[in-house]
Amino acid sequence: MVREFEETPNDNLTILLDAWLPANLEQNSHAKDRLEHAVTLAATICWEWCREPGNRLVLGIADKSPLVVQGETGQDLCLRTLRSLATVTGHTTPDVIQLAASMRSTLPPGPILVLTTSPGKLQTTMEKEFHRPVTCINVSNLADLDFFEW
């Protein structure tokens, strides 16, 4: 007798926000705007992903103090991610290593998306730490992306 068990696949997503700001904010007046664009894009993705209950979402924020919000999609997780994104201030040296360490136990299978404002090391660090591909969107170049419009 053969018994077959098939689970319905759930969609998992991990979003990492690189909250980097340059040290010379006076000379780089658009840096705060780009960080705000990255936060807005992360919030939009979290909002849309949480509309379908039963999936898994992990939001990692690489800021001065890294933060990880994770759980099953739904209204509660959506509100927690949006509240966390509202507190992002940005920092010249986000703690990427600590973020990776705090995510190690909560990282579900599925894609990893990095939203960044710099050519920083978050993407390469996460690829090395988790041994899987990471997609990176640099919000500084949003005008170059054909799928995005304000």
List the domain boundaries for the chain: 12-22+30-143
Look at the domain 12-22+30-143 and name its fold: Rossmann fold (3.40.50)
* pLDDT greater at residue 105 or residue 145: 105
pLDDT of residue 93: 85
pLDDT at 39 over 50: yes
Condensed to tens digits (0 to 9), the pLDDT of residues 67-102 reads: 999 999 999 999 999 999 999 998 888 888 888 889
* pLDDT greater at residue 4 or residue 45: 45
Residues 6+ apart with CB under 8 A from 12: 55, 56, 57, 58, 108, 109, 110, 111
